[in-house]
Chain A
Amino acid sequence: MAKMPAGTLYRGREGMWSWVAHRITGVLIFFFLFAHVLDTALVRVSPNTYDKVLDLYKNPLINVMEVALVGGVLFHALNGLRITLVDFWAKGTRHQRAMLWIELAVFVVLMVPAAFFMLEHTFSRYFGS
């Protein structure tokens, strides 16, 4: 087994990976926001143009990507709350790892029904009777 390098309190542990995930979700949300403001701006062009582009969001493949987007935003939000607690709560640093596991549990509890409804709407639209 490879020997762990010195100074590994942080590196390779939960703290580092949540930081990596926070950055990646943040960047993806930033780029989506840019696209989303542009597509919403089409309401100034005409109702038809807007509705045509909005139909993209109702495509089943894009719908799966929306579940990923909601998941990314939810993780970034919950992890941001944890970071804020680490910074402002006196015991935050001591409990940062426990808070990460609570955060992931809350993520699953909220994400399962959200994903179910999001996919169900589209599934019944395309394949329902």
Chain B
Amino acid sequence: MSTDVENASVMSPHDAGPAEVIEAPRTTRRIGKRSRTNFEMYSWLFMRMSGLLLVILVLGHLLIMNVLDGGVNRLNFGFVAGRWASPFWQIWDLLQLVLAELHGTNGMRTIINDYSKNDVTRFWLKMLLYLSAGIVLGLGTLVIFSFNPNIGD
């Protein structure tokens, strides 16, 4: 397995300059069964597409909530009630919630796959991740749709 790497360093001696050496890749090792779906390709594509939308949704959200016209100092229950009276901001927030949570969960999944050292840890970390994603998506959606501006009366 290491012969490729050794050959590569023989073919590109160090006096060629350190920045010009690219090691030959290691032999690929297939872990488990070969997947019949193209899940990882769709996940890669989803990260780019949701990312583009989130640039507008999240930066817009932060600009309105944190930067403009007093920032967080003007936020309170009444401010939320005023915004969610409009379907435009309800849809904005719902889209933002769903895309951000899925984008973040998929990113965390990649990180868990990269760094967890054994299969049991990896499995349980991912279960915990999916549980937290379920809570955030369920609770967030419920709050947007069931919001009652007169709850205090």
- How many whole Å from A79's CB to the nearest CB in chain B? 10
A77 touches B72 (CB 8 A): no
- How many whole Å from A129's CB to the nearest CB in chain B? 16
A66 touches B66 (CB 8 A): yes
CB-CB under 8 A from A38, the residues of chain B are 139
Q: A121 CA to B111 CA in the complex, in Å?
A: 37
B59 touches A73 (CB 8 A): yes
* Also in contact, A37 and B139, with CB within 8 A (given A6-B21, A51-B77): yes
Report B85-105 CB contacts with A as 1/0, cut-off 8 Å.
000000000000100110011
- How many whole Å from A65's CB to the nearest CB in chain B? 11
- How many whole Å from B7's CB to the nearest CB in chain A? 13
B66 touches A30 (CB 8 A): no
Q: Is the interface of B mostly helix, strand, loop or mixed?
A: helix
CB-CB under 8 A from A125, the residues of chain B are 73
A98 contacts B by Cβ under 8 Å: no
Binding stretch for chain A, among B27-35, B50-58, B116-124: B50-58
A50 touches B139 (CB 8 A): no
CB-CB under 8 A from B132, the residues of chain A are 34
* Also in contact, A121 and B73, with CB within 8 A (given A8-B21, A77-B59): yes
Q: A82 CA to B55 CA in the complex, in Å?
A: 12
A7 touches B21 (CB 8 A): yes
* Also in contact, A34 and B18, with CB within 8 A (given A6-B23, A84-B52, A114-B67): no
CB-CB under 8 A from A47, the residues of chain B are 76-78, 151-152
In the complex, residue of chain A having the shortest beta-carbon distance to the beta carbon of B84: A43
Name B71's contact: one of A37, A77, A117 (CB within 8 Å): A117
A27 contacts B by Cβ under 8 Å: yes
Name A26's contact: one of B20, B48, B63, B104 (CB within 8 Å): B104
Q: A37 CA to B59 CA in the complex, in Å?
A: 17
Interface residues of B (CB under 8 A from A): 9, 12, 14, 18-23, 48, 51-52, 54-55, 58-59, 62-63, 66-68, 70-73, 75-78, 80, 97, 100-101, 104-105, 107-108, 111, 132, 136, 139-140, 142-143, 146-148, 151-152
